[in-house]
Amino acid sequence: MMINYVTRYLLRVEVSVAGGSPVNPANIKFVDTGLESVEGRAEVQAVLNNESPNPYAFRLRVRLVNHSGKPLGPPFFLSHPVRRSSPVPERYECRIFGKTSILLASQIPEPILPGKYTMEFELQSRARTLKKHSVDVEVKKGQFPAQQSVVARIVGDIQASPARIELSRRPRGQRRVPLKLANWSDQAANVKLRAYLRGDSSEEHIPWLTVRPKTIRLTPGRTRSVLVAASTREAEDKHLYAFLEVTVEPEKTLVGGKKLFPIAFLAPGELKLKYKIGDFIFDPSGQYPAAALSVHNEGDIHLALDGVMELDNPFGGKAKVRGGFGRWVLPGDTGKIRFRFKRIPPPGSYPVVMDLYIGHEEKPMRLERTFKVE
């Protein structure tokens, strides 16, 4: 007797609802909605339940509104996670069988700063809004660490991007970078900008750096750009560093504040990184417990820390955790790559494998370490 074993793997199922019943919004229930950190970025997630035996096809649109009623960018659609690579508009066609639940999700296109927001959902079918649902959420400081290199909060609802400015004399490097200032508050604000050399806040005359304009009035809901440019004629043959101090002056009830933005001006030639890997410990302090790896910069060029840590998930299976997210460590400073956990793991020893991207290196450095939770 001969027995042939045939194994087939079901990777994906495409469901098309043809000739189905019109969507009855009363049968679609919002079971759970919220913001989740996925790869360090903010993602809107919604779990919907179909209480009817009939299958439905629809779209789910959402927009975020801050505490003062201003929308955080335009509204956007959610999709099945497995359909994120599908072409538009098919990507946003949501299907649900009868008596089942589905998860819909999408990353927020705009950076979101700490504060209180309202997520406003619209269930749509054939370009008609059939049902609305709102839920209040609060974003905490540091909740989405991947945004740190993208946008920085100066004070209140006034922000600037990018949070770090890299100018370069290297091939394909940028010698001009716009700093985008945005005022999402309900009041006008006066902004002053001042650049000074790293290590000497009194030295504001920097021959190789131009910042203009240096004073701006930001009206509510508007954005303005500041030009940050470097001159090659005045530059030295080494990497140079400065800080851009952005100050928001109070007006009416608006609270003033300031923020420092590091500026790097890279010299041509080979980039020689020099750093030392330090301790690897579990840090339970703060709002987000994390396994933290210290890195000391012994060179003359900044490091940009990024990495992925893989470990046996104490709650089952394997887990990959990303950390660093391009965080800068300036020459002579020490920084940490924090691999965060949603909750503190059970006590024990955890061997891990880390793929680290340090500075401008193209290939990852692999490290094997162990951290302990007591």
List of domains in the chain: 25-139 (2.60.40.10), 151-266 (2.60.40.10), 275-373 (2.60.40.10)
- Let me know: does 373 contact 289? Beta carbons within 8 Å: no
Q: Which residue positions in the chain have pLDDT lower than 50? A: 1, 3
Closest Cα partner for 289 from 342, 327, 352, 337? Answer: 342
CB atoms within 10 A of CB 72: 20
d(CA 169, CA 189): 35
CB atoms under 10 Å from CB of 92, counted, come to: 20
As a whole number of angstroms, the distance between CA 162 and CA 209 comes to 17
The pLDDT value recorded for residue 127 is 84
**What is residue 338's predicted lDDT score, i.e. its pLDDT?**
95
Q: Which amino acid is at 143?
A: Q
Q: How many CB atoms lie within 10 A of CB 270?
A: 4
Are the beta carbons of 365 and 359 closer than 8 angstroms?
no
pLDDT at residue number 14: 61
What single-letter amino acid sits at 286? G
pLDDT in tens, 101-138: 999 999 999 888 888 999 999 999 988 999 999 999 99
Long-range contacts of 366-373 (CB under 8 A, 24+ apart): 367/277, 367/293, 369/280, 369/293, 370/280, 371/280, 371/281, 371/282, 371/291, 372/282, 372/348, 373/282, 373/284, 373/344, 373/345, 373/346, 373/347, 373/348
Residue with tokens 């949070």: 163
> Within 13 Å and on the Cβ side, how many CA atoms surround 21?
12
Q: Which amino acid, residue 139?
A: V
How far is residue 264's CA from residue 262's CA, in Å, rounded to a whole number?
Answer: 7
b or e along 318-329 (b: 16 or more beta carbons within 10 Å of the residue's beta carbon)? ebebbbbbbbbb
pLDDT value, residue 6: 52
pLDDT (0 to 100) of residue 195: 95
Residue 15, token pair as written in the block:
């469901």
pLDDT for position 1: 44
Query: Cβ(330)–Cβ(297) under 8 Å?
Result: yes
Q: What is the 3-state secondary structure (H, E, C) of the chain?
A: CCCCCCCCCCCCCCCCCCCCCCCCHHHEEEEEEEEEEECCEEEEEEEEEECCCCCEEEEEEEEEEECCCCECCCCEECECHHHCCCCCCHHHCEEECCCCEEEEEEECCCCCCCEEEEEEEEEEECCEEEEEEEEEEEECCCCCHHHHHCCEEEECCEEEECCCEEEECCCCCCCEEEEEEEECCCCCEEEEEEEEECCECCCCCCCCEEEECCEEEECCCCEEEEEEEECCCCCCCCCEEEEEEEEEECCCCCCCEEEEEEEEEECCCCCCCCEEEEEEEEECCCCCCEEEEEEEECCCCCEEEEEEEEEECCCCCEEEEEEEEEEEECCCCEEEEEEECCCCCCCEEEEEEEEEEECCCCCCEEEEEEEEEC
pTM above 0.95, yes or no: no
The single residue listed with the structure tokens 């750009």 is 225
Q: How far apart are CA 79 and CA 105, in angstroms?
A: 6
Rounded Cα distance between 115 and 66, Å, is: 8
